[in-house]
Structure 1
Amino acid sequence: MTNTSAFDAPLTLDRDAVLVVVDVQKGFDDHGFWGRRDNPGAEKNMAAIAEAWQAGGRPVVIVQHQSESGPLEPGTPGYELKPELAGIRADLHITKTVNSAFYGTPDLHAWLSARGARQVVVIGIMTNVCNESTARMAGNLGYDAVFPIDAMHTFDMAGPDGVTLTAEELTRATAAALHTMRYAKVVTTEAVLAAAGGGAA
């Protein structure tokens, strides 16, 4: 676990804090496949953070998920980045076939270690799947993980008992788990932009 005081203190960002943009791909707009989503302002917040990173000269990692079939299959329009993030310059581009960005190619942990970076900010899709997996692993590896909960979204999901949890419920559960167990500092886009010197979204 990270020191508790670091979680309770106001957000500060390292000069070399790395923004990890997870799976912001057009295929997630296929609601016939994914279902109902939350947070319609997510893409606006993602773009605001990414632009602040670019303007401040901080490093950006773009991650894309490769599915064997379905909306995120390489070579299909759904694999492409959404327009809000398509113009962002990436210092590293990772492709992956599983949830965590730390299990992609090239190796994110090796790249961060080589840079001496200790802080990562995770945004993208989906809140309780690839974003949460990436943040949990970042915490386990000793990184200072920052999780702006309104710069991401997820979808309604049915549990093994057949009960559907709303995207909002799943988002709250993710925020509670990451915060309580100290995997990541759960914050807002506004807090990240203020710490980055970019003002409010």
Structure 2
Amino acid sequence: MTALASNAALLIIDMQNGINHPRLGRRNNPEAEQRISELLAFWRASMRPVVHVRHISRDPDSVFRPGQPGCEFQPAFVPQAHEAVFEKHLPDAFCNSGLEHWLHQRGIHQLVILGVVTNNSVESTARSAGNLGFATVVVGDACYTFDQRDLQGRLWSAEDVHALALSNLAMDYARILDSTAVLAAG
């Protein structure tokens, strides 16, 4: 990766308490939170923009339902007063949130995306970012997902689901890098 833009935005997707609920199942990448913390600290120290995205579910059974602890940000990822927070009701952080407008108003053209779930909100947001013309990076070791069954009932490991989601993004939408490469570009 070439150098990070001085205003490259870090998008932290859905790092809320509910993502740790046992009913979501087995996950991959147990060090993702550590990588996210390292990148967040770097962004804050370099005074680059940080954007926190919070999923607000309309499903009454969701771990992200408003008014319950699962909807709140994890303690390590609570936004600071000057950091942007966008709420979404769908996986895509750009859909009906005002995020695209906010980025354009600030002349931000480069996005670094991380968080959860790799094959859902991260992938959806990165696809939109790429389609909208943003120079998009997804930090593979700062994302994770869960085991998932396909429509035929076959169980796919979180590692396979994660790898395929990142591969899909790498085709046309985003560069896939690890946190070491992103920090080195800073």
CA contact (8 A) 2:119 2:145 kept: yes
- Whole-Å separation in 2 of the counterparts to 1:104 and 1:75: 21
Give the Å deviation of 1:80: 0.9
CA contact (8 A) 1:123 1:152 kept: yes
CA contact (8 A) 2:79 2:85 kept: no
> Residue 55 of structure 2: which of 53, 65, 76 is its match?
65
SS at match of 2:38: helix
Q: What residue number does 1:199 align with?
A: none
- Match runs of 1:1-201 below 5 Å: 10-31=1-22, 33-68=23-58, 69=60, 70-86=62-78, 88-89=80-81, 91-105=83-97, 107-179=98-170, 181-196=171-186
Aligned residues: 184
SS at match of 2:6: coil
Q: Residue type of the partner of 1:94?
A: F
Deviation string, structure 1 residues 45-99 (Cα, Å, up to 9, x no partner): 1111011100000001111001132211111111111122125455311011100
Task: Calculate percent identity across the aligned residue pairs.
Answer: 38
Report the TM-score, using the length of structure 2 for normalisation. Answer: 0.95
SS at match of 2:103: helix
SS at match of 1:95: strand
SS at match of 1:122: strand
Where do 5+ consecutive residues of structure 1 fail to align? 1-9, 197-201
CA contact (8 A) 2:52 2:79 kept: no
Q: Residue type of the partner of 2:161?
A: L
CA contact (8 A) 2:118 2:166 kept: no
Root mean square deviation of aligned Cα:
1.2
The ranges of structure 1 where at least 4 consecutive aligned residues each deviate by more than 3 angstroms after the TM superposition are 87-90
Q: Residue type of the partner of 1:96?
A: K
- Whole-Å separation in 1 of the counterparts to 2:80 and 2:12: 10
Q: Residue type of the partner of 1:183?
A: Y
Where do 5+ consecutive residues of structure 2 fail to align? none
CA contact (8 A) 1:11 1:192 kept: no
Deviation string, structure 1 residues 127-153 (Cα, Å, up to 9, x no partner): 110001000100000000011101011
Report the TM-score, using the length of structure 1 for normalisation. Answer: 0.88
